[in-house]
Amino acid sequence: MRAYSREYYAANKERIDAYPSKKAAGRRHVLKKHGISEEEYQAKFEEQSGVCAICLHPPKKKRLHIDHDHKTNLNRGLLCWKCNLGLGLWNDNRERYLRAVEYLDKYKKIL
């Protein structure tokens, strides 16, 4: 099978190299899912100065995630993986976040 694969690749190298990468195909899927173009993503990225809208850190390896409201499906901004995951895990519950801030403030004073 390996020999066949090598021969096929050698005979069809130009055609195979023209295929979009899995990464590019995945990126197009995410943009389509959120209903924005690559240009709109780049405009939002520049508007946020290339950093996460919450923690203000630039992306390390991956691009920033497109954050959206799960009830309205409206896009809000671009977030790093951790901030996007945090919002999702707490179901965008504002009161929970405020209690977390109070909790952190309470123990910051003690320690």
CA dihedral sign, ordered 101, 102, 103, 109 = positive
Q: What is the pLDDT of residue 111?
A: 53
Query: What tens digit of pLDDT does each residue of 42-86 get?
Result: 999 999 999 999 999 999 888 999 999 888 889 999 999 999 999
Task: Give domain limits for the chain.
Answer: 2-110
pLDDT the model gives residue 19: 67
* pLDDT tens track for 7-24: 887 887 777 666 666 667
What's the rounded mean pLDDT across residues 84-99?
A: 91
CATH classification of 2-110, choosing from 3.40.50.720, 3.40.1800.10, 1.10.3720.10, 2.60.40.1170?
A: 3.40.1800.10
Quick check: 68 and 101 in contact, CB under 8 A? no
What average pLDDT does range 83-106 have in this prediction? 91
Work out the angle at residue 60's Cα, subtended by the Cα atoms of residues 47 and 34, and round it to the nearest 5 degrees: 50
pLDDT of residue 2: 82
CA distance 100 to 20: 44
DSSP string for 9-50: HHHTHHHHHTSPPHHHHHHHHHHHHHT--HHHHHHHHHHTTT
- Answer yes or no: pTM beyond 0.95: no
